[in-house]
Structure 1
């Protein structure tokens, strides 16, 4: 009888964990919302619309108290620079985001996203999704995360079909398409399928927050591909 009861208990479905049951993820998402609420659009209608779309969608997701999807935490070679990036962020205007991110540091799943990324790129780059179709905070209409670069990194020319993407600088200095140097707090918007290339400073790592908006099917399957060398040279 006891064995039967034990099996019945084991077979019972474990209640799903929800966002409001995991304060560290909730606080991090609120800091993310603040990034898109408090910053300036710099007079750009496109950036203003994107910022509003991100924060309105995020607010709606938080309001549904979404499921937490348990993912296996993983590290990559570049995460050896993560502590330094958080230290830099905590010294400046991004300190609240950095502190909230530090609380979930051991739960992050760092990945590459490209099947054919070069060995050198795999040493210097990785991203972690925090909200999206794969979790850990489940959402279908928005993807949020962080991307980390080692010093002296060149992130090759690439684009995201059907996905509008923004970066907000959290720590370090970096450049997109060699156009300018962006400091913490800067927001860069890449329209869907817009080619872009990132380079980072020589001394410190760079940590960027990112947001993706687009069709549900594309967010679930972003089809991340690096541009060919020939095409990348043509763009520049």
Structure 2
């Protein structure tokens, strides 16, 4: 068995600690399955990181959680250590109900999963970045998902109303639910997501 990247190991441990105090029910069960799978180490990537222009908003999006004493400051530091290794990509395909600036104003990066620092197909851990005033398209997927929100922003699930989990907020998307997210007009949105692909 190969050894996991040291910075990735530290990030995953910090993420687990944060989620342990913020999840219950379906979210808690799903996170438990993710970390059980992570006991087996995937394939290490040798790829170099890649930024898109919208990534200029990464630092502003992390400003609050990076402050000394913030409950997420340790996670922010661990995340900062892996950022140079991430390959940021635009979402392919149709973009129903997305804002007109969506194409150039968003980016997604896989941390663990296909194309991530650790390649594997049984789970995905990644993040999404939206420039201020950007709405992500409505989308759905079969795997259940847990979000950890790292900045201000709004989210939509099914036929419900937009809601703001707040910085450090966690919520669960059941399998197949239609969902979306949007950055506030004056601030970027950064969120981590975990999918139990099974």
Corresponding residue for residue 114 of structure 1: 92
Corresponding residue for residue 10 of structure 1: none
C-alpha distance in structure 2 between counterparts of 1:33 and 1:149, whole Å: 24
Aligned-residue RMSD, C-alpha: 2.2
Corresponding residue for residue 107 of structure 2: 126
C-alpha contact 1:152 1:202 (8 A) present in aligned 2:
yes
TM-score using structure 2 length:
0.84
Q: 1:68 aligns with which of 44, 67, 70?
A: 44
Task: Give the stretch that moved more between structures: 129-138 or 24-33.
Answer: 129-138
Q: 1:175 aligns with which of 155, 158, 183?
A: 155
| Alignment partner of 1:79 is 2:79 | no
Alpha carbons of structure 1 residues 32 and 55: separation in structure 2 relative to 1, 3 Å = farther
- Which consecutive segments of 4 or more residues in structure 1 shift more than 3 A? 115-119
C-alpha distance in structure 2 between counterparts of 1:188 and 1:71, whole Å: 31
Alpha carbons of structure 1 residues 122 and 77: separation in structure 2 relative to 1, 3 Å = farther
Corresponding residue for residue 230 of structure 1: none
Deviation at 1:59, TM superposition (A): 4.1
Q: Which whole-Å deviations, capped at 9, do the CAs of 1:169-208 have from their partners, x for residues lacking one? A: 1122323254322211211221122111212212111110
What are the ranges of 5 or more consecutive residues in structure 2 without an aligned counterpart? none
Q: 1:205 aligns with which of 177, 180, 188?
A: 188
TM-score using structure 1 length:
0.72
Task: Number of aligned residue pairs: give it.
Answer: 190
Corresponding residue for residue 54 of structure 1: 31
Structure having the larger proportion of residues in helix: 1
C-alpha contact 2:87 2:116 (8 A) present in aligned 1:
no
What are the ranges of 5 or more consecutive residues in structure 1 without an aligned counterpart? 1-15, 42-47, 216-236
C-alpha contact 2:85 2:117 (8 A) present in aligned 1:
no
C-alpha contact 1:174 1:199 (8 A) present in aligned 2:
yes
Corresponding residue for residue 139 of structure 1: 120
Q: Does 1 or 2 have the higher relative contact order (CA < 8 Å, sep 6+)?
A: 2
| Alignment partner of 1:159 is 2:144 | no
Corresponding residue for residue 6 of structure 1: none
Deviation at 1:135, TM superposition (A): 2.9
C-alpha distance in structure 2 between counterparts of 1:76 and 1:116, whole Å: 19
C-alpha contact 2:129 2:188 (8 A) present in aligned 1:
yes
Q: 1:149 aligns with which of 130, 135, 138?
A: 130
